[in-house]
Amino acid sequence: MKRSTTIVSLSLLALGLGLGLAPPASAQDDGGSFSGRIVLGFRSVDVDGADRKYREDVNLSDGPRLMDLDLDLTPTGTVRSFVDRIQLDVNDVGASSFETVRLAVDKFGRFGFSYDRWESAYFYEDLILPHELANVRLSSGGDFHHFDFERVRDRAKLDVTLSPRAELNFGFDRFAKRGESTTTLDVSRDEFEVHKPIDEERFEYQAGFQYAWDKVTLIIDERYSEYQNAYSIFLPGFSEGESLPPANLTSLDFFFLDQPYDYESFAHTVRVVARPTRDWIIRASGTLQELSLDLSAAERSQGTLFTGVPFTTDLVGSGGIDRDAELFDLDLTYVINDRFAVIGGFYTRSLDQAGAFTFGGTRNAGAWDIETSGVEAGLEVNLAADLTVSGGMRIESRDVSFSTVEAGSPLADEDESTDHDGFFATLAWRPSRLYGLTLDYETDSFDDPFTLASPTDRSRIRARGQLNLDNGVWGSASFLLTEMENDNSGWDAETQQLLLRAGYRADRFDASLGWSSIELDRFAAFAVPAIPTLPARDYTAESDFIDALLRYRVSDALTLGGELRRYENDGSFALERDDYRLFGEYRQASGLLYRLSYRTIDYAEGAFDFDDYDAEIIDFGVGLSW
């Protein structure tokens, strides 16, 4: 109801503005303008096959919606004294899984206000093996984690210019996630699928002040955020679990666990940007963050252990976690002249976190201390107007220490230090706006990486070329090779990607064709002593993407077009997805417009067919533009 009201209100507002206020031409003689577009429509979706996979992959739904609302107003006369420009951009409000709203109001040099809203649905219910191949003992019966929730984010910003030297800014950010999910619970050698409602919300409030002297600017930024998560999992009634008697006697009559938590956090930032001369930019920044989390929990359960012995639990607990973080940066840019610039930076970060939680009389605790320091220095040389060469090096040291206490006894107490050296170089050749070439190379070396799958060596080489001819022909090509390896464990990962695109753009015609190939290889052969039969982890994904677009403006009134997106993945997990779309838009001289599109998606997995689906999506819209 609320959503329908929003659609109707926005639509009527836009129609009224469009029909009543729109000038015959978008630009008025006195510098003002008012242009806009509103399209209302209906989407029809027909899915044949695995609807759950369609919802996970595409998730466009049936129903009426406000497809598009764009307003762009540059007022004149007295209104202009207060506002220079108003922009509203609304997409897909109504029966949709992805909605966006943006409003911006600006009076240049006085204030700028913006409001954004993003609303999206997330669905996940995936099967990995067909039921007949599932094996509970191997825990391969599927992924019991299902999600069906909505994310909403509202963000507003207000910048107030007090004078050319002084500015105040305020921000508000809200993020909420609500819906349903299921997860698993391991009880006495058995797995139970349990409900896990999702209900969390975060607010952030920000206020800042900036003052610019002739050579120094001071920026102060204060942020306060609070977060609540009503975390709970429950099994409302009897379940024998995944392993059935007589192999496993474990069962649950009921299980309830509430562990809501909330935290509040403050972040204080002071930043100074100094320009003692035009050639120097010095930036120093310091941020202190404090976070304090409160946690409580209550568990009630009743059931039977795998031995057949009944059990009950009725436990409560509470605890908290405190975290302090400090971030300091010092950056220097020295522009010697048009040809040379020296860039350097030094940074430190520290995180200090400690928490304890007592549950059912048992105390658990964990503490972390991470100290990171790094230096980067580089030189940028413009050898000629069309040739830039830059390069530099960086080093970073990170010390990590953490300790955990389980049931009152120390479980882990470790210190890890990782040192990192890196070198980077870029060559950019841009002889004109019509074409150019960029080559960049990075290499990094890490001592004592944190995990067996963290690199000891990493390198990336990338080449990009672009062409944009005056006659409308354009093209681009790129190649990327990334290699990572851990000399100690034998883990390595490689990515190769090639992209070729070409197109032609003219007054009435727009066409493009692209092909991208991505090959991922990840390999870990080291033994896992507890599982002597475990094979090497040898993963490959070879993906090819082909996309094509053809848009032809047949006349001033009629535009027709089509799109193709084809995706094929071979390797460890084969799948194909063909996505085709035809669309047309007819616009009358009065501004009335009609839009129709037909899209078909064919998704097929290689190993099994229980996730395959075909979908047909038809969109019809009627609107007005001016």
Partner 1 sequence: MERRFLKLMAGGLLGLAATLAVGLGSAPAATAQDDEPLDSSVCAACHDDQVAAFTSNPHSLLNDPDWGAAGVEGGSCVSCHAGAAAHVDEGGGEGNIFAFGDDASPAARSQACQECHADTHPRFRGSEHAQAGVTCTTCHQIHQPGHSAVSLLRSGPMTATDPAEAIGAASSVCASCHGDVFARFQWNERHRLQEGILACTSCHDPHERATRARLGGFKQDACMECHTDKGGPFIFEHASARAEGCVACHDPHGSPNRHMLAFQGVAELCFSCHATVPGFHSRFNLDTVCTNCHTSIHGSNFDPFFLK
Question: Which of 160, 207, 453, 604 is in the footprint of partner 1 by CB under 8 A?
Answer: 453
Is residue 433 at the binding interface for partner 1, with CB under 8 A as the rule? yes
Q: How far is the CB of 454 from partner 1 (least distance, A)?
A: 6
The answer to whether the CB of 317 falls within 8 A of the CB of 358 is yes
Q: How far is the CB of 540 from partner 1 (least distance, A)?
A: 10
Q: How far is the CB of 4 from partner 1 (least distance, A)?
A: 19
> In terms of CB distance, is 1 or 22 closer to partner 1?
22
Neighbours of 92 (CB within 10 A): 20
The answer to whether the CB of 32 falls within 8 A of the CB of 75 is yes
> In terms of CB distance, is 207 or 545 closer to partner 1?
545
Reported as type and span, the H/E element at residue 77 is helix 77-80
Is residue 526 at the binding interface for partner 1, with CB under 8 A as the rule? yes
Is residue 432 at the binding interface for partner 1, with CB under 8 A as the rule? yes
Q: How far is the CB of 5 from partner 1 (least distance, A)?
A: 21
Chain residues 466-525 in contact with partner 1, contact rule CB under 8 A: 466, 474, 476, 478, 480, 489, 491, 493, 497, 499, 501, 503, 512, 514, 516, 518, 522, 524
Q: Residues near 512 by Cβ (< 8 Å), separated by ≥ 6?
A: 501, 502, 503, 504, 547, 548, 549
Which tokens hold the place of 321?
Answer: 């976690």
- As beta bridge partners, residue 286 has 270, 328
Annotate each residue in 204-223 with x if it binds partner 1 (CB under 8 A) or - if it does not, as one string: ------x-x-x--x-x----
Is residue 618 at the binding interface for partner 1, with CB under 8 A as the rule? no
Q: Residues near 220 by Cβ (< 8 Å), separated by ≥ 6?
A: 208, 209, 210, 269, 270, 271
Q: How far is the CB of 208 from partner 1 (least distance, A)?
A: 13
Strand, coil or helix: what is 241? coil
Question: Which of 511, 549, 560, 618 is in the footprint of partner 1 by CB under 8 A?
Answer: 549
Question: Which of 13, 156, 174, 183 is in the footprint of partner 1 by CB under 8 A?
Answer: 183
> In terms of CB distance, is 1 or 356 closer to partner 1?
356
Residues contacting partner 1: total by CB under 8 A: 205
Question: Which of 537, 548, 594, 598 is in the footprint of partner 1 by CB under 8 A?
Answer: 537
Question: Which of 8, 79, 98, 410 is in the footprint of partner 1 by CB under 8 A?
Answer: 98
Angle at 389 between CA 385 and CA 391, to 5 degrees: 155
Which tokens hold the place of 461?
Answer: 């080489």
Which of the stretches 5-13, 17-25, 114-122, 302-310 binds partner 1 when contact is defined by CB under 8 A?
A: 114-122
Chain residues 1-30 in contact with partner 1, contact rule CB under 8 A: none
Chain residues 314-343 in contact with partner 1, contact rule CB under 8 A: 319, 321, 323, 325, 327, 331, 333, 335-343
d(CA 586, CA 557): 5
Q: How far is the CB of 238 from partner 1 (least distance, A)?
A: 20
Closest by CA to 44, choosing from 64, 30, 14, 22, is 64
Find out whether the peptide bond into 246 is cis, omega within 30 degrees of 0: yes
Is residue 313 at the binding interface for partner 1, with CB under 8 A as the rule? no
Question: Which of 106, 262, 457, 612 is in the footprint of partner 1 by CB under 8 A?
Answer: 106
CB environment 230-264: b (16+ within 10 A), e (fewer):
ebbbbbeeebbbbbeeeebbbbbeebebebbbbbe
Q: How far is the CB of 304 from partner 1 (least distance, A)?
A: 19
Which tokens hold the place of 454?
Answer: 């963290």
Is residue 144 at the binding interface for partner 1, with CB under 8 A as the rule? yes
- As beta bridge partners, residue 464 has 438, 478
* Chain centre distance of CA 329: 26
The answer to whether the CB of 329 falls within 8 A of the CB of 349 is no
Closest by CA to 253, choosing from 312, 293, 298, 309, is 312
Chain residues 35-94 in contact with partner 1, contact rule CB under 8 A: 39, 57, 60, 67-68, 74, 84-85, 87, 91-92
d(CA 363, CA 341): 56
Is residue 555 at the binding interface for partner 1, with CB under 8 A as the rule? no
Closest by CA to 553, choosing from 505, 516, 590, is 505
**Cα separations in angstroms, 621 against 44, 67, 366, 564, 618:** 12, 7, 56, 21, 10
Which of the stretches 8-16, 18-26, 300-308, 401-409 binds partner 1 when contact is defined by CB under 8 A?
A: 401-409
Which of the stretches 16-24, 121-129, 245-253, 306-314 binds partner 1 when contact is defined by CB under 8 A?
A: 121-129
Strand runs (DSSP E) across 213-339, as ranges? 216-229, 232-235, 251-258, 261-274, 280-304, 310-335
Chain residues 356-385 in contact with partner 1, contact rule CB under 8 A: 356-357, 359, 364-366, 368, 370, 372-380, 382, 384-385
* Chain centre distance of CA 314: 40
Which of the stretches 1-9, 15-23, 305-313, 347-355 binds partner 1 when contact is defined by CB under 8 A?
A: 347-355
